[in-house]
Amino acid sequence: MPVEPETEVLLSRTEIAAAIDRLAAEVRRDYLGKCPLLVGILKGSFVFMADLVRRLDFPLEIDFVRLSSYGPGTESSGQVRVVQGLRSPVRGREVLVIEDIVDTGLTDSYFLEYLRKRRPASLRLCSLLDKPARRRFPVKIDYLGFSIPDRFVVGYGLDLDEKYRNLSDVCVLVEG
């Protein structure tokens, strides 16, 4: 087995759970009775999405897209690819995009524009994490869990070369 880098907890599962309670209350306040379409961006958002929707006690629908702006490693390739598109119609729907992390903003600025062209009734973004120091493309985050420093994070759905998604905490990699 190859040796993986060590990890250190940046945000514990307890802190994450408290943030998701808060986010769920905000989303509930804004979408109760509106049957929103929650669109998760795969793969990174799958854990966050699963925890968030189980705190939402009103009718809603779920879909997923797979977009890719990263090749192997930790740097963005600068291009967004739609690997798997939406199956649900968006026109006239209250659409809430669920993201794991907004980094340069490339992926979300692209995808929000892609959705906007399809004429939803409303369009908002909910992200667990934000790395504002890295922003190159402006993105409005309507519901945010945490703003974090410019470190590469893994766990709670986030990966490095497909590893670490299964960690329950958001962690940083320890160098060396």
Residue 149: closest CA among 131, 164, 161: 131
- How many angstroms separate the most distant Cα atoms in the chain? 51
Name the catalytic one among 30, 51, 100, 103. Answer: 103
Q: By the 8 A CB rule, do 82 and 107 touch?
A: no
Distance (Å, rounded) from C-alpha 109 to C-alpha 168? Answer: 28
Closest to ligand IMP by CB, 126 or 153:
153
Distance (Å, rounded) from C-alpha 92 to C-alpha 20? Answer: 27
Total number of residues binding ligand IMP (CB under 6 A)? 19
103 carries an active-site annotation: yes
Tokens of 42: 């795969």
Closest to ligand IMP by CB, 59 or 85:
85
* 105 touching ligand IMP, by CB under 6 A: yes
* 90 touching ligand IMP, by CB under 6 A: no
* 101 touching ligand IMP, by CB under 6 A: yes
Q: Which one of 51, 100, 130, 169 is in contact with ligand IMP (CB under 6 A)? A: 100
Residue 135 amino acid letter: R
CB of 153 to ligand IMP, least distance (A): 4
**Region of 18-26, 46-54, 55-63, 105-113 interacting with ligand IMP (CB under 6 A):** 105-113
Closest to ligand IMP by CB, 24 or 109:
109
Q: By the 8 A CB rule, do 101 and 48 touch?
A: no
Q: By the 8 A CB rule, do 150 and 123 touch?
A: no
* 44 touching ligand IMP, by CB under 6 A: yes
Q: How many CB atoms lie within 10 A of CB 126?
A: 23
Residue 142's Cβ-count burial label (10 Å; 0-12, 13-18, 19+) is middle
Contacts of ligand IMP in 120-159 (CB under 6 A): 152-154, 158
* 94 touching ligand IMP, by CB under 6 A: no
**Residues near ligand IMP (CB under 6 A):** 41, 44, 69-70, 76, 99-108, 152-154, 158
Could you list the active site residues? Answer: 103
